[in-house]
Amino acid sequence: MARSNLNPLNPLNPLNASKSSKSSANPSRRDWLKWTVAATAPLAYSLTSAQAPLNHNPFTLGVASGSPNHHSVVLWTRLMPDAGSAQTQFATSNVSVQWEVADDDNFKVNRRSGHVVALASLAHSVHLELEGLQSDRWYFYRFQWGDAQSAVGRTRTLPHPEAMVQKLRVAYASCQRWEHGYFSAYKHMAQENLDMVLFLGDYIYEYAGAANAVRLPTGGWVTSLSDYRDRYALHKSEKDLQAMHAQCPWLVTWDDHEVSNDYAGLERGQSGNISLDFAAQRARAYQAFYEHMPLRASALTRSIDGLASGAEMRIYGQVAFGKLANIYLLDDRQYRDRQVCNKLGAYGSGFINPDQCQEWLDPKRSLLGTEQSQWLDQSFANAQNDGRPWNVLAQQTIFGRRDFRLGAGYSLWNDGWDGYSAARHRMTQSMQSHALSNPVLIGGDVHENWVGHVMADAYQDDSAKIGVEFCGAGITARAGGNAKIAARLAENPHFIFADGERKGYGVVTFTAKHIQTELRVVDDVRQAQTKIETLAKFAVEAGVPQVQRVL
């Protein structure tokens, strides 16, 4: 079997990966460490198992790549068994999958290959962490098992952190609810010539259905591990989504619906069977998220077993795109305090008058948690002298204040940054104290496009502008329409644009001197075939925290 030449000095031993091994649903910590080596590193040889001819293609969920840096990227797929397959050992056995990487899509130029283990305990998902790659390079990849072959994917490494870079082009997306429409926006996104995608949460929804549904998900309410796996498989069956995953690497974070609507840390949200053990449900949801996303094994800080006891799954982090931009990927769900002042102590979110909520300004309340907040503050300090003009915060929700009460007083939604005023103030203070260069906040969650400014004081409309914000409308999830948008913009003048009807994604092009953001929207998410247009376009000059609408 050909040995991978990507990292020939890799000291990790595949640990008997040439022998078929029995997997358990709850592997020990020792087993997990062994399997992490086998399941993420390129193997020099394969598991030995006889393979009868396949009567189905197990790569029906496509391929993906993500978690890139300047020398490495994660390649992902998941093998799906078929009940009628002759491969009866598939469902319970670990299997060896061949991978190929090359400079061209015909796999003729600088072809490299090897094997990686797809663990039965992780739903036969593959997370191949390829090391030793050249920086700032595009690669093609694919997988094979038996006589079945996956689609071809395209990925890239990032420029070296010290490299001078002319341009970065990213799309941001979120909120793809199956019931509300088709994911046809991705068909158009695939034509945008992107370097990467920032996915900002709600990859799946856990609901059993919706009023006036365009189509209904299978499986009812999502609570068990098999439920979550099936819901991800359903979403990933959408060909336009698969095609976009195969175009370029993704940086992914989550929001609430990957687990339960409006959950907060280890406190349950509002959906599904509220009598269930929520900590156990969250652990199952986190495992399924890992299984279906191109994440590194290091995200599982205490293995799969650790999730069941409340261990974190660390998905926040930072990457540098040459000397052009820092990108900070945040997690505002896993570590947050519970929402406050809901009527009758209800779980989840609500609209609150902060004048009637004593806990609203409690300085101890956190959205990001202590450790992540300290990490982010230190990252801002480190960015002071790194010479990168742009600092991009990719996070779940809208950052600026949105007051829903016209005139005197406030009515604020307590699930986003508005519900964690002290945490937001600490964030803006950190940006200012470290003189963070050109903060650009990108979010999702609210199902509407909002564009505006990050204010030094969210409650003072005449305070200094210290950054800019773009919050996306989501791929399909419905919003309330535009009837009240003009009045809300007047009430919240730090925002200059909003739209509550059209669905799609945003594209941001960074250069050293300016950025340009285009809001790309489809004509009708209820149709599988759609047209795309630019709803609005904005520009921001480096050194000037001011959004200008140019279209």
Per-residue CA distances from 208 to 22, 140, 178, 219, 436 (Å): 35, 37, 10, 7, 43
The winner for highest mean pLDDT among 32-41, 268-277, 370-379 is 370-379
pLDDT at 271: 81
> What are the φ/ψ torsions at residue 331 (nearest 5 degrees)?
-130, 105
- Token pair in block for residue 240: 């336009």
pLDDT at 48: 34
Confidence band, pLDDT 50/70/90 cuts, at residue 42: low
pLDDT at 92: 81
Confidence band, pLDDT 50/70/90 cuts, at residue 50: very low
pLDDT at 436: 98
pLDDT at 46: 38
Domain boundaries, the chain: 1-157, 158-549
Read off the pLDDT of residues 445-488 as tens digits, 9 standing for 90 and up. Answer: 999 999 999 999 999 999 999 999 999 999 999 999 999 999 99
- Edge-first strand order for the sheet with 125-130 is 125-130, 73-78, 63-66, 250-252, 196-199, 168-173, 504-510, 514-522, 532-541, 548-549
- 53: how many CB neighbours lie within 10 A of its CB? 9
Architecture of domain 1-157: Sandwich (2.60)
Read off the pLDDT of residues 332-350 as tens digits, 9 standing for 90 and up. Answer: 999 999 999 999 889 999 9
Asked whether the domain spanning 158-549 has the same topology as the one spanning 1-157, the reply is no
Which residue is it, tokens 């989840």? 348
| CA-based nearest residue to 333, from 254, 425, 427, 446 | 254
333-362 burial, b at 16+ Cβ within 10 Å, e below that, comes to bbbbbbbbbbeeeebbbbbbebeebeebee
pLDDT at 270: 86
Percent of all residues in the chain with a pLDDT value above 90, rounded to a whole number: 85
Read off the pLDDT of residues 482-509 as tens digits, 9 standing for 90 and up. Answer: 999 999 999 999 999 999 999 999 999 9
pLDDT at 267: 94
105 SS3 class? coil
pLDDT at 483: 98
**Per-residue pLDDT at 54 exceeds 80:** no
pLDDT at 43: 52
178 SS3 class? helix
**Per-residue pLDDT at 44 exceeds 50:** no
- Token pair in block for residue 329: 């990927």
pLDDT at 47: 45
**Per-residue pLDDT at 237 exceeds 70:** yes
Confidence band, pLDDT 50/70/90 cuts, at residue 3: very low
**Per-residue pLDDT at 235 exceeds 80:** yes
pLDDT at 276: 85
Read off the pLDDT of residues 529-550 as tens digits, 9 standing for 90 and up. Answer: 999 999 999 999 999 999 999 9
Confidence band, pLDDT 50/70/90 cuts, at residue 204: very high
165 SS3 class? coil
Mean pLDDT across the chain, nearest whole number?
90
**Per-residue pLDDT at 213 exceeds 50:** yes
Architecture of domain 158-549: 4-Layer Sandwich (3.60)
Q: What is the mean pLDDT of residues 8-15?
A: 26
Confidence band, pLDDT 50/70/90 cuts, at residue 39: low
Read off the pLDDT of residues 77-109 as tens digits, 9 standing for 90 and up. Answer: 999 987 555 455 567 889 999 999 999 999 999
